[in-house]
Amino acid sequence: MAETPNCPQCDMENTYFDGTVYICPDCSNEWSTDGNDVEADDTPRDSNGAELIDGDAVTVIKDLKVRGSSMVIKRGTKVKSIRLTENPEEVDCKIDGSSIVLKTCFLKKG
């Protein structure tokens, strides 16, 4: 069986080929490997495709383990006042007094 590539948006391994394009169920990204794709804009977007801006409030859509600690960010955690980073796939925020960088594919606006 051929190896499926990691998602180019969230770098998760859980991808599959549906016959025409590759799909990532974690962030809903769809892409093909034929080289004819137009590069997407660098606008930070949440898991539903809504544009994120500095100061937005977001909600975590999945339990996330924090690397280097025993802390777990629970699904449904509301995060206020996010800050955009140079990488459009990441935002900086504070949760329980700790400064943390989160991937946008695990967030939803609102």
pLDDT at 36 > cutoff 80: no
CATH class of 1-40: mainly beta
Check residue 96 and give its pLDDT: 87
Outline which parts of the chain fall under CATH 2.30.30.40.
58-109
Outline which parts of the chain fall under CATH 2.20.25.10.
1-40
Domain 58-109 has CATH 2.30.30.40: yes
Q: Which residues contact 38 (CB under 8 A, 6 or more apart)?
A: none
Q: Which residues contact 4 (CB under 8 A, 6 or more apart)?
A: 15, 16, 17, 22
Count CB-CB contacts under 10 A for residue 26: 20
Strand partners, 101: 92
Task: Tell me the average pLDDT across 68-80.
Answer: 92
Mean pLDDT of the chain: 86
Strand partners, 83: 92
For every residue of 34-58, DSSP letters joined together read: SS-PPPPP---B-TTSPBP-TT--E
Check residue 34 and give its pLDDT: 67
Alpha-carbon gap, residue 80 to 9, rounded angstroms: 24
Percent of the chain residues past pLDDT 70, beyond the cut = 91
Check residue 10 and give its pLDDT: 86
